Amino acid sequence: MKEKVIKIKKIDPKDFFGPQNKNINLLKGIFPELKIVARGSQIKAYGSVKDLSELEKRINKIFNYFEQYNIISSNDIENLLSSSEIEVQTSAESYKPIIHGVNGKIIKARTLNQRKIIDSVKKNDMVFAIGPAGTGKTYTGIALAVKALKNKFVKKIILTRPAIEAGENLGFLPGDLKEKLDPYMQPLYDALKDMIPNDKLKKLLEDEVIQIAPLAFMRGRTLDNAFVILDEAQNTTHSQMKMFLTRMGENAKFIITGDPGQVDLPKNTISGIKEAILILNNTSGVGIVHLNKSDVIRNKLVKKIVDAYKKIENSN
C-alpha cells in the first residue's frame, strides 16, 4: 500500500473540503479502495499507485480551475471530482452576474454547463440547451434575453412553447385563448417576474416588447431584432421544429431548450429536438450544450430522482 500526500494550494481548505466534509466524502465514494484522510491543509491517501495517481489528477484539476478563474463553487468541485475527463473551460465573463433582477437579486450562471450556455450564446446565433428538469436551461436563457433587451442589442423578447394540449382538449376550459394557454406559459412568466419589476413587465407585455405565445403562433413570422426562446422543445414535431428554426431573421438570437427524457408526444412521433441536434450538430453558428444531473439546482432529491429514472430508462 502506497501513501500520497496532497497539499491544498491557493484554495481555503474549508472551501475545498466542503460543509461537513462533503467533498471529501464524495472523494471517498469515487475511490472506495483508497483510505482518504483530510487534516489541516492537506489530504493523505493510501492505496494502489493507479488510484492515487487518478486522485491526484482530479484534485489538480480543481487547483488549475481555481487558478484560472479565481473562484470556484461547491458545484464546480463536485463536477470536477466526479468526472475523470478534462472539462471544457468557460470564460471569465461567464462567472459575472448576467443581470440584477427584482430587489437587486443577482442572477448568474450557477453551474459549469450554465456557463457554457452563456459562452455558446455569445459565439453562436442559435443554441440548443439539452438536459433534464431543474438544470436552469430556460432560466439562464431568459436572463440572457433580458440582458440583451436592457442593453438594446435586440428590440424584443419572444418566448414560446409547444402547447400540445392547445387544441380541442382545452375547449372545455373557461376564458379566451390566452386564458386557456397561460397555464402552459406560467414557468416563463415566473422567470420574468424574478428579473423585471412587475409594473415594468406588465408594460413590456402590453407593448409586445416581450411576447409569450404558443409555438403555433410563430408560423408565418420573420423574427428580426429579437431574442427568441423555444422552451420544452422535446414536444415539437419535425414540422414544428423546422418551422420555428426557419423563422430566424436579421440580428436574432435563438435558444432552444428541452429534455429528451420527457417527451409527451404521441407514440411513434419523433421529437423535433432530437432530430434537430442530429441534423445541425456540425453546423457553423449553431451551438449545442448538454446539461446533466450535476446542473440540477432544485432540491437535492431531484438529482436522485433524475438518476433513478435514467437507470430504468437505460435498462429498457
| Residue range 170-186: mean pLDDT, rounded | 63
Predicted TM-score (pTM) above 0.75:
no
104 & 75 share domain? no
| Most confidently predicted of 4-8, 19-23, 87-91, 239-243 | 239-243
194 & 247 share domain? yes
164 & 230 share domain? yes
In whole angstroms, what is the distance from residue 163 CA to residue 111 CA? 29
For residue 153, the model assigns a pLDDT of: 96
69 & 98 share domain? no
Exposure of 43 in the CB half-sphere (CA atoms within 13 A): 24
Which residues are bridge partners to 214 per DSSP?
Answer: 161
271, 256, 219: which is closest to 125 by C-alpha? 256
| Within a domain: 87 | no
- pLDDT tens for 78-136 read 777 776 554 557 888 888 899 999 988 999 998 889 999 999 999 999 999 999 888 99
61 & 153 share domain? no
In whole angstroms, what is the distance from residue 140 CA to residue 180 CA? 27
Last residue of a domain, one of 23, 58, 82: 82
User: What are the cell numbers at 146?
Assistant: 433580458
DSSP 299: -
Last residue of a domain, one of 54, 82, 110: 82
Rounded-to-5 percentages of helix, strand, coil across the chain: 50, 15, 35
> CATH no. for residue 77?
3.30.1370.10
45 & 162 share domain? no
30 & 157 share domain? no
Full domain range(s) for residue 237: 93-315
- pLDDT tens for 223-271 read 999 999 999 999 999 999 999 999 999 999 999 999 988 888 888 888 9
Q: How confident is the prediction for the chain on average, in pLDDT?
A: 85
305, 296, 257, 235: which is closest to 129 by C-alpha? 257
- pLDDT tens for 29-49 read 888 899 999 888 899 999 999
For residue 24, the model assigns a pLDDT of: 85
| Within a domain: 211 | yes
104 & 46 share domain? no
Confidence of residue 173 (pLDDT cuts 50, 70, 90): low
